[in-house]
Amino acid sequence: MWQLVILRWDSFVLSIGSVLYGIQLYIYPNILQDYKVYQVIREMFDHKIIGAIFILLGILKLVGIVLNNKTIKVLAIRGLLFVWLLFMVAFVITPPPNTVWIMAFMSFMLGLGIIIREE
């Protein structure tokens, strides 16, 4: 098991991080409602929907890794890339200037690296 964790470290980090991020968005609606950087996201999604999307995709990626199911892994990572890219763009275009987009950019690039290595 530890060998799998070491070999798929990037995938585990992105998956678990996405699940945790989704849980925060799901449990605490004030994050989307009160923070200005989430203005564009708030207009597109309810906090429960976007939180559930992050949770579902993160768990799917973990299941794909554990079962070594390439189809699940491919679908989950592409879904995660989409939502992280969506958040990155939303954070970049939402005033005031902020640094949160950098976190989304790092998550997106981590996912891109996973795809390149075809995990």
DSSP 92-114: HHSSSP-SHHHHHHHHHHHHHHH
Q: Where are the domains of the chain?
A: 2-116
Per residue in 94-112, pLDDT (tens digit) is: 998 899 999 999 999 999 9
Question: How many Å is the Cα radius of gyration of the chain?
Answer: 14
Instruction: Using pLDDT thresholds of 50, 70 and 90, give the confidence band for residue 3.
Output: confident
- Does the pLDDT of residue 82 top 90, yes or no? yes
| Residue 5 reports pLDDT greater than 80 | no
Residue 119's pLDDT is 54
In this prediction, residue 30 has a pLDDT band, given cuts at 50, 70 and 90, of: very high
